[in-house]
Amino acid sequence: MSNLINVTINNIPLQVEEGKTILEAAKMLNIHIPVLCHHKDLCVAGNCRICVVEVEKDPYLVAACAIPVREGMNILTNTKKIRDARKHILELLLTEHNINCIKCCKSSSCELQNLALEYRLDEELFINLLQDIPVDDSSPAIIKDDTKCIRCTRCVRTCDELQGVNALAMSQKGRHTKMSTYLEKPLADVVCTNCGQCINRCPTGALTEKSYVEQVWEAIYDPSKFVVVQTAPAVRFAVGELFHVRPGARVTGRMVASLRAMGFDAVLDTDFTADLTIIEEGTELLTRLKKALVDRDKSVALPMFSSCSPGWIKFIEHQYPELLPNLSTCKSPQQMFGALAKTFYAKKREIDPANMVSVSIMPCTAKKFEANRPEMRDSGYKDVDYVLTTREFASMIHHSGIDVLTLKNEEFDNIMGASTGAAVIFGATGGVMEAALRTAYQIVTGKDVPFEGINITPIRGFQGVKQASLVIEGTLPEWKFLEGVELKVAVAHGLKNAHKLIQGLKSGEIEAHFVEIMACPGGCIGGGGQPIPTNIDIRTARMEGTYKADSKMLLRKSHENPEVQALYEEFLGKPNGHLSHELLHTYYTERFKY
Amino acid sequence: MPTSTVKRTDLIFKKDIDYSAVMHKIMKMGKDEFIEELIDSGLRGRGGAGFPTGLKWKLVKAEQSPEKYIICNADEGEPGTFKDREILDNAAEKVIWGMTLAAYITGAKEGFIYIRAEYKYMQTKLRIAIDRMEQNIKALGIKFKLDLVFGAGAYICGEETALIHSMEGYRGEPTNKPPFPVTQGYLNKPTVVNNVETFVNAIIIAEIGAKEYKKLGTKASQGTKLFSVSGDCCKEGIFELEMGMTVQQFVDEFGDGDTKAVQVGGASGFCVPRKEFPNTIIGFEGVPTGGSMKVFNSSRSMYNTLENYLIFFEEESCGQCTPCRIGTQQLLMGIHAVKRKEKPKSYLDELLKLAQTMKFASKCGLGRSVGNAFGSIVTNFREEIIY
């Protein structure tokens, strides 16, 4: 039990739990204190100083976000001294800032801009200090513009605390202080995984995704091009937020309608290839298990790691190259889709794949990097031409003049548009694992997974590393070798937790046959391409929406997807077959560690 | 010939103390009793901030932790101060035994002297002195391991939390207080961080007792203090003086007869103009100083002096907090702009307000003290800054 502490804020008495900050205490009274460097997901920095407040008897102003309450503290949040200091701090930040707000894609979500408007800073008080620093656009996913950086270190803390990647760090001191990379190298040449979590937490436009919106419009306007679009599972639970719909609300029907209205020639679903991924990855797992358990093949790498998250893929290539054999060779659903769009789909619709443009809408920035990998051209063309984030997609809706909220719900096109509940939950951490178990258990035993309502709850939720096990009983004759085997699985989300999980596997603390890792906190629903802001409440709402949607689906197991079944019958043959390997599987590259 | 009104003292560099005997005395006296003695002596940190040393030790002693640390801050970086170098060069034993005393009192088993990289040449001498101390404390039954850590040249690492970060291998950046080092310092363990001179004073108090020590100085500023005297003076160097003199007394002793201002406490201290000399006491009741005393005669441009300080701060701010990182740049560019007539005279008033914000809103002592020099020079020598 923590002690209660008596304080007053603006002369209102209040009891607060010991250890709470002044900021948290003020929130209890609905007193708003502005913040810039503070973020709920991150540790306290207390360096922007915009949140300063007055504490009786303290000669200095104190940072509300950083200072815990003390017994008898009398706090004032609105005095001349505070207002003068805040205005000065904002003025100072603006003298360093590249104020081209009308051209900045973060304009609508820029916290610095909001504060400047709040405080009506219309006259330039101090001398302009804007430096001429070139934009780092070396990465296919993330753009770093130091002229907009306010040195709040949110990105640095994100990269360290949430992701354990440390691609970004502060360097230099004094007026030269900057957010930087190893040896000031371009972002493309460092350990950055392109996860984009820094973008989601950057209060300004210093970190943004590289936009491909113009190229996509070009393709749509070009009558000679057939433009197919796929939408990832997590997009539909978040994009509504950019149109003032509550987080977690499922807007699939209107999303499809808006894409069609924009002029895409085929509106298809990544959920379809999510189901396909489960068939391929599940088969691969069972094959690996058979080789290990029956054939006693020591060369089989177990546990098998999921390979859906491109941020995670680049992470393991940098940090744990010795574990690359453990990665499933399955491409991510996006890339499976891309490879099939320009082969299977093109053939069925009798379209020349050379005239096809394949666009994907993703909650992710790492997917932009993934689509540009040289190995992702198995269709004979670039499998996925352009990747847009949820945010870019929303901006396209705005460009097109569509009033998305008045649209009628529409369905995805067929051939590659059908999906199951198993694909829906891909967007949440543990979802791929749950989908895989639902299918694998049924293949092996002919029965449903032994969890109530096939909801595998131990691997749901926001715990950093989750583990579960189930004993396989009543196997079909073909899978007799798995009878009585206790199948162990582990799940991690956020790359810091990936570190923990791998360390646990290495030390023997964690045992698993199959491991799912998603680069972003919460999985794709918290992806780096999702609407800003992000925090645990928003991610929780998106996750709840995901599981609610799954529970309402008629088909909830990937192998039940009729279009996937048709795909195997008409085109691929069998899971992990020759054509599957050619189109749906890939290989990995060891990368440097700095 | 007029007699000097400045009282010279000689405690710090006088011949060596019988340290084992002093330690015996303290061990007999008891830890809490010595802390009371130290509090009674009125000793305040000699680095400049002036936190009561006895209280600091008492807080660390009260912490329940098997690991505690004693750190000597020898990152002497304030422009115009060079007294710690002299102490380490000529009275290292007193520092080391002062630290040993702190370790014994607080229950720390390990200590470090964090020395600025430029003082590396002393390391052999210091290590020999440490060896000698470690040999001697065996007989006393005290366990204390002392090591040297070298800084890498950043001024900010003289700030205690930045110093601790630097020791831990992180960027030398100050953190929010609380937590204070006395509860969560080096490796998050209770830590005493004191200036070189503070440890020396502590061991002197242990030897002569608070009663004797209190005979020197004033109520707010007890004891003696080393001053690093430089600039336009008739004699420069290091002088041990009783605390509590006025700037006038100081100038009478050290000035060249044409003194127009004294910068007390280095770049982060205050500039005292001639008219204020008689009424300004050097000490915690007036202008506090870590030891730096820079004397300026009428040939000096206070604009150049201020510009020099601001260039220093702009470079040496750790860069994390907004008021300090950008504020220092604005003050520097601001006086340039006024000088070049790109900004009106009244812009100085805006800058003075900004300096106030920096004082109130900065994260650590660096940003808070930039306004000291800026405010005192701009206010007292406004004409020189403008024309």
pLDDT per position as a tens digit, A551-568 = 999 999 999 999 999 999
Reading the block at residue B294, the tokens are 């820079």
Looking at chain B, which residue has its C-alpha nearest residue A84? B357
SS3 A230: strand
What residues pair up with B193 in beta bridges, in sequence order? B71
Residue A488, beta-bridge partner list: A469
Residue in A380, A322, A3, A314 with CA at minimum distance from that of residue A163: A314
Do A130 and A175 lie in one domain? The reply is yes
For residues A494 and A535, give the distance between their C-alpha atoms in angstroms, rounded to a whole number.
Answer: 14
Spell out which residues of chain A touch residue B326, defining contact as CB-CB under 8 Å. 92-93, 95-96, 129, 175
Inspect the interface and report whether the beta carbons of A85 and B353 lie closer than 8 Å. no
* B335 to chain A: closest CA residue: A127
Query: Strand, coil or helix: what is B237?
Result: strand
* B7 within some domain: no
Q: What element of type H or E holds B311?
A: helix B302-316
Inter-axis angle of helices B53-62 and B196-208, to 10 degrees? 90
Instruction: Look up tokens 């403008």; give the residue.
Output: B386
- Going across the sheet that includes A73-76, the strands are A12-17, A4-9, A73-76, A52-55, A62-63
Residues B139 and B26 in one domain: yes
Residue A575: give its domain's CATH number: 3.40.950.10
Last residue of a domain, one of A78, A112, A129: A78
- Domain stop point among B164, B179, B213: B213
As a whole-number percent, the residues of chain A with pLDDT over 70 amount to 100
Rounded to the nearest 10 degrees, how much is the dihedral formed by the CA atoms of A439, A440, A446, A447? Answer: -70
Q: Decide the pairing of beta strands B237-242 and B259-264.
A: unpaired
* Average pLDDT rounded to a whole number, residues A383-410: 95
Domain boundary among B273, B297, B321: B297
Residue positions counted in chain B: 387
Please name the residue of chain B whose CA is at the shortest distance from the CA of residue A126: B330
Clarify whether residues A104 and A170 are in a common domain: yes
Does residue A49 sit at the B interface (CB-CB below 8 Å)?
yes
Whether B34 and B120 share a structural domain:
yes
Neighbours of A258 (CB within 10 A): 24
Which two structure tokens, joined as six digits, stand for A134?
């070139």
CB atoms within 10 A of CB B55: 15
Closest residue to A96, CB basis, from B156, B326, B328:
B326
- Asked whether residue B348 falls in the same domain as residue B335, the answer is yes
Nearest chain A residue to B172 by CA distance is A173
Between the alpha carbon of residue A355 and those of residues A226, A350, A385, A428, the distances in Å are 6, 11, 12, 35
Is B4 within the bounds of a domain?
no
B-chain residue closest to A130, CA distance: B326
Tell whether A495 and A569 lie within a shared domain: yes
- Sign of the Cα torsion B326, A49, B352, A204 reads positive
A35: which 2 tokens? 């913040």
* C-alpha radius of gyration, chain A, whole number: 25
Residue B129 lies in a domain: yes
Centre a 10 Å sphere on the Cβ of residue A588 and count the other Cβ atoms it contains: 18
Map tokens 């379809």 to a residue: A272
Q: Does A176 touch chain B (CB under 8 A)?
A: yes
Q: What is the CATH number of the domain that holds A351?
A: 3.40.50.1780
Same domain, A99 and A25: no
Domain boundary among A384, A406, A428: A406
Task: Specify if A85 maps to a domain.
Answer: no
Q: Are residues B162 and B254 in the same domain?
A: no
| Domain hosting residue B326, numbered range | 302-386
Q: Is the pLDDT of residue A124 over 90?
A: no
CB contact under 8 A, A174 and B368: no
* Cβ-Cβ contacts under 8 Å, B359 against chain A: 60
A103 is a domain residue: yes
Dump the DSSP string for B273-308: EGGGGGG-BBSTTSB--SSEEEEEETTS-HHHHHHH
Q: Are residues A229 and A192 in the same domain?
A: no
- Active-site annotation of A, residues: 281, 284, 308, 328, 367, 370, 375, 524
Is B60 inside any structural domain?
A: yes
Do B249 and B191 belong together in one domain? no
The tally of domains found in chain A comes to: 4
CA-closest candidate to residue A233, choices A16, A92, A431: A431
Residues B143 and B39 in one domain: yes
Give the tokens for residue A243: 């149109």
The answer to whether the Cβ–Cβ distance between A89 and B316 falls below 8 Å is no
Tell me, yes or no, whether B90 and B201 share the same domain: yes
Residue A380's Cβ-count burial label (10 Å; 0-12, 13-18, 19+) is exposed
Q: Which two tokens stand for residue A334?
A: 């996006």
Domain assignment present for residue B85? The answer is yes
| Residue numbers in A near B356 (CB within 8 A) | 84
CATH of the domain at A154: 3.30.70.20
Closest CA to A72 of A51, A57, A53, A52: A57
> B315 and A174: CB-CB below 8 Å?
yes
- In order along its 387 residues, chain B shows pLDDT tens digits of 445 678 888 899 987 789 999 999 999 999 999 999 999 999 999 988 899 999 999 999 999 999 999 999 999 999 999 999 999 999 999 999 999 999 999 999 999 999 999 999 999 999 999 999 999 999 999 999 999 999 999 999 999 999 999 999 999 999 999 999 999 999 999 999 999 999 999 999 999 999 999 999 988 889 999 999 999 999 999 999 999 999 999 999 999 999 999 999 999 999 999 999 999 999 999 998 889 999 999 999 999 999 999 999 999 999 999 999 999 999 999 999 999 999 999 999 999 999 999 999 999 999 999 999 999 999 999 999 999
Q: Is A175 helix (H, G, I), strand (E, B) or coil?
A: helix
Q: Which of A20, A55, A78 is the last residue of a domain?
A: A78
Q: How far apart are the CA of B242 and the nearest CA of chain A, in angstroms?
A: 29
Considering only CB atoms, A88 lies closest to which of B178, B325, B357, namely B357
Residue A288 sits in the same domain as residue A356:
no
Which DSSP symbol is given to B16?
Answer: P
In angstroms, what separates the C-alpha of A46 from chain B's closest C-alpha? Answer: 7
Q: CB of A69 within 8 Å of any CB in chain B?
A: no
Q: What residue of B is the nearest CA neighbor of A177?
A: B319
Kindly state whether residue B218 falls inside one of the protein's structural domains: no
Do A298 and A377 sit in the same domain of this protein? no
B240 Cβ partners below 8 Å, 6+ apart? B8, B9, B10, B11, B12, B13, B224, B225, B226, B227
Structural domain includes residue A219: no
Interface of A with B in 309-348 (CB under 8 A): none
Chain B positions touching chain A (beta carbons under 8 Å): 154, 156, 171, 175-176, 178, 313-323, 325-330, 333-334, 337, 343, 350, 353-354, 356-357, 359-363, 368
Distance CA A205, CA A109 (A): 9
**Domain-located, residue A265:** yes
Q: What is the 3-state secondary structure (H, E, C) of A316-375?
A: HHHHCHHHHHHECCECCHHHHHHHHHHHHHHHHHCCCHHHEEEEEEECCCHHHHHHCCCC
Phi/psi of residue B71, each to 5°? Answer: -120, 130
**Domain membership of residue A366 as a residue range:** 225-272+334-406
B322 contacts: CB under 8 Å, gap ≥ 6: A47, A48, A49, A50, A89, A92, A93, A150, A151
| Residue A118 included in any domain | yes
| CA angle (B69 as vertex; B66, B74 as ends), nearest 5 | 180
Show the tokens assigned to B21: 């005997």
What order do you get walking across the sheet with B191-195 strand by strand? Answer: B145-150, B110-115, B69-74, B191-195
Whether B6 is covered by a domain: the verdict is: no
Hey, are the CB atoms on B361 and A61 less than 8 Å from each other?
A: yes
Q: What is the ipTM of this complex?
A: 0.94
Q: Are residues B167 and B70 in the same domain?
A: yes
Give kind and range of the element (H or E) at residue B198: helix B196-208
- Tell me, yes or no, whether B27 and B150 share the same domain: yes
B219 belongs to a structural domain: no
The residue among A136, A116, A26 whose CA lies nearest residue A74 is A26
A567 falls within a domain: yes
CATH number at residue B265: 3.10.20.600
In this predicted structure, what is the pLDDT of residue B1?
42
Alpha-carbon distances of A562 from A272, A275, A411, A420, A569, rounded to whole Å? 10, 10, 16, 9, 11
Does residue A594 lie in a domain region? no
Contact B320 A170 (CB under 8 A): yes
User: A549 and A475, same structural domain?
Assistant: yes
Q: For residues A59-84, give the mean pLDDT.
A: 96
The last residue of a domain, from among B276, B297, B318: B297
Q: Give yes or no: residues A98 and A166 share one domain.
A: yes
Q: How many domains does chain B have?
A: 3
Is B353 in contact with A47 (Cβ distance < 8 A)?
no
Q: Are strands A514-518 and A304-305 parallel, antiparallel or unpaired?
A: parallel
Same domain, A103 and A163: yes
> What CATH number does residue A23 fall under?
3.10.20.740
Summary mean pLDDT of chain A = 96
Of B337, B357, B360, the CB nearest to A127: B337
Say whether both A18 and A69 belong to one domain.
yes
Q: Cβ(A74)–Cβ(A8) under 8 Å? A: yes
Dist. CA B11–CA B69, nearest whole Å? 27
- Proportion of chain A in helix, strand, coil states, percent, rounded to 5: 45, 15, 40
Interface contact flag, B330 A52, Cβ < 8 Å: no
CB atoms closer than 10 angstroms to residue B4: 11
**A330: β partners:** A585
Distance CA B118, CA B77 (A): 10
Whether B330 sits inside 8 A of A129 (CB atoms) is: yes
The answer on A508 and A394 residing in a single domain is no
Chain A residue numbers touching B329 (CB-CB < 8 A)? 129, 175
The whole-angstrom separation of Cα B231 and Cα B252 is 14
Residue A217 lies in a domain: no
pTM, entire model: 0.95
**pLDDT of amino acid B3:** 56
Residues B350 and B280 in one domain: no
H or E element at residue B137: helix B123-140
Residue A176 has phi, psi (to 5 degrees) of: -90, -5
Distance CA A56, CA A279 (A): 65
Structural tokens at position A320: 């744990």
- Report the CATH number that the domain containing residue B344 is assigned in CATH: 1.20.1440.230
- Cα A318 to Cα A306: distance, rounded to the nearest angstrom: 17
B315 and B270 fall within a common domain: no
Q: How many CB atoms are closer than 10 A to CB A137?
A: 15
Is residue B207 located within the same domain as residue B334? no
What is the number of other CB atoms lying within 10 angstroms of the CB of residue A134? Answer: 8
